[in-house]
Amino acid sequence: MKFFVDTANLDDIKSLAATGLLDGVTTNPSLVAKSGHSNFIELIREIASIVDGPVSAEVASTDFEPMLAEAKTLAKIAPHIAVKVPLTPAGLKVCKIMSDDGTMVNVTLCFSAAQAILAAKAGATFVSPFVGRLDDIGQNGMELIADICTIYNAYPKFRTEVLVASVRSPTHVVEAAKMGADVATIPPSVIRQLFGHPLTDKGLAQFVEDWKKTGQTIPV
């Protein structure tokens, strides 16, 4: 499974990229607003300079013609930009045009398996089902991931990767991995939670204490 970080915060991106565990970045208008950055294009350009993998940059328009124009502008920022479009008729039309032109496209705001089928047929590189938002309204978001993975696996000609979005906890990540999802895009705080386990902390503390008792050091 590939790990993307879901943020527009440059400090978080730099910190996580330094671990070597980061495969890409996803952003959206809400995350950009939260970052406080005043120049969206420059922000995406800087993110793309930090991360070699796909960087999702979302269009702002909802109508076809301006959305297509924005998609073409975003695609020019760097070769590894994944233009992000909503799962709407206009968005899928833009997806088809851009993907046919060789641009990576991330179709976002997916909430049903039927929508995921449409994204694959439109040639999306990624489809982003939002598991946390489904959980919020009393549905089981992970059941949607299972359904999409089952459908995509039944049709080898579908090249769209399942990008699990709206991740709220390490449990979402682990369950998605068990289902065979291709990517999870994860908030920085949840990525850091993946490192933690009380027995790891306890064991390390014991090792450190026992090593001190030996009175030894490792030459460096």
- The tokens describing 212, both together, are 């001190």
Q: Give the torsion through C-alpha atoms of 7, 10, 32, 26, to 10 deg.
A: -40
Provide the β-strand partners of residue 26.
Answer: 6, 56
List, in sequence order, every beta strand (DSSP E) within the chain.
2-6, 24-26, 55-58, 81-86, 104-110, 126-129, 161-164, 183-186
Provide the β-strand partners of residue 164.
Answer: 184
- The tokens describing 108, both together, are 């976002």
Catalytic hit among 2, 34, 76, 84:
84
Q: Work out whether strand 104-110 and strand 55-58 pair parallel, antiparallel, or are unpaired.
A: unpaired
Asked if residue 82 lies in contact with residue 107, where contact means CB atoms within 8 angstroms, the answer is: no
The answer to whether 84 is a known catalytic residue is: yes
Helical spans, DSSP H, in 137-216: 141-154, 170-179, 188-195, 198-214
Catalytically active residues are 84
